[in-house]
A = this chain, B = another copy of it.
Amino acid sequence: MSDSRTVTAFAPASIGNVGVGFDMLGLAIAGAGDRVSARRVPGPGVRIAEVRGLDGEVHPTLSADADGNTASVAAAALWLAAGGDGGLELVVRKGVPLQSGMGSSAASAVAGAVAANALLERPLPLRELLPFALAGEKVASGGIHADNVAPSLIGGMVLCPPVLLPRMIALPTPQGISSVLLHPDLLVSTAESRRKLARGYSMDQWLTQQGYLAGFIAALEAGDVDLLRECLQDVIIEPQRASSVPCFPAVKEAALAAGALGSSLSGSGPSVFALCEDQLAPRVRVAMEQACRGFGYDCQSWVSPLNAPGAHLEELP
């Protein structure tokens, strides 16, 4: 308990599914993320001192209940497993909007695990934090899917099929391709969106989607932009979710018209992403924003390289 440091971890927002890889593909974004500061305190357990929002004020909806926050659940899971001495107190600063499809709960979980890890006598390697971050994420999503946690943890484009967990496969990220992520100002519940998905699929349906995913991975490896464009398709999940995001068809169409390689919902939405060649990113971003505002929704957007960094400790002033 002689360690009185406060450490702060940043974990980025992320694009779940990346359109083509439901539940198994994720992409880190740059410039948006959650921060969790941690310090050791007497007594057992992990508690949350406060949760603050983008504006620096106390967060209007997220509770500081340690059992219900993904950051503290992840931190506590690690602290318990690694035999951390005493307790932890966390301050959570949300930079990722809630229920945005931007991996908000995952970013908090990852930042919580990374901050707690830094206060262990023998911190674990970053990749070994995955199960603890997933334990946190589970509080929010109710299931074990790593398509937000994995890219938030290790950055870049990550393949993480549930059947291969805890493997996280960092895919090659071709030079010259950017992601554009647009967040319209409306809410979608991931858990509810999941419950609405059909349970049965024809062989044609899944073979088509599997063909696109297989081709997409090969295209990333080969840096084949034409093949990326052809394969960035979601014929299964997107059609089922599009109706819950009224502006989605217009935003997607605007992205494609501006030259994007492809566009789909980020996670369960409402956020919409596009991939495009770097030089087109400003044009694609403006087109998506205009289409969204044309629908009457305010919005924010981010442009990122495909190899955006994952979670890391920050020096605070």
Asked if A161 contacts B215 (CB within 8 A), the reply is: yes
Chain A residues numbered 220-238 whose CB sits less than 8 Å from any CB in chain B: 221-222, 227, 230-231
**Mask: chain A, 232-248; 1 = CB below 8 Å from B; 0 = not:** 00000000000000000
Whole-angstrom distance from the CB of A150 to the nearest CB of chain B?
Answer: 13
Contacts A172-B221, A202-B200 given; indicate if A210 touches B161 (C-beta within 8 A): yes
Q: Flag the segment in A73-81, A163-171, A289-297 that touches B.
A: A163-171
Q: How far is the CA of A24 from the CA of B23 in the complex (A)?
A: 21
Which of A167, A197, A214 has its CB near the most chain B CB atoms (within 10 A)?
A214
Number of copies: 2
Q: Is the interface of A mostly helix, strand, loop or mixed?
A: helix
Residue A196 CB within 8 A of the other chain = no
Q: How far is the CA of A24 from the CA of B211 in the complex (A)?
A: 7
Known contacts A201-B202, A201-B206, A213-B214; 12 additional CB pairs below 8 A are: A22-B207, A24-B211, A159-B214, A161-B207, A161-B210, A163-B208, A164-B231, A167-B215, A171-B218, A200-B203, A206-B210, A214-B217
Q: Could you name 23 residue pairs across A and B whose Cβ atoms are closer than 8 Å?
A: A24-B207, A161-B212, A161-B215, A163-B212, A164-B211, A164-B231, A167-B215, A169-B222, A171-B218, A197-B203, A199-B202, A199-B203, A200-B201, A201-B202, A201-B203, A206-B210, A209-B210, A210-B213, A213-B214, A214-B214, A217-B217, A217-B221, A221-B221
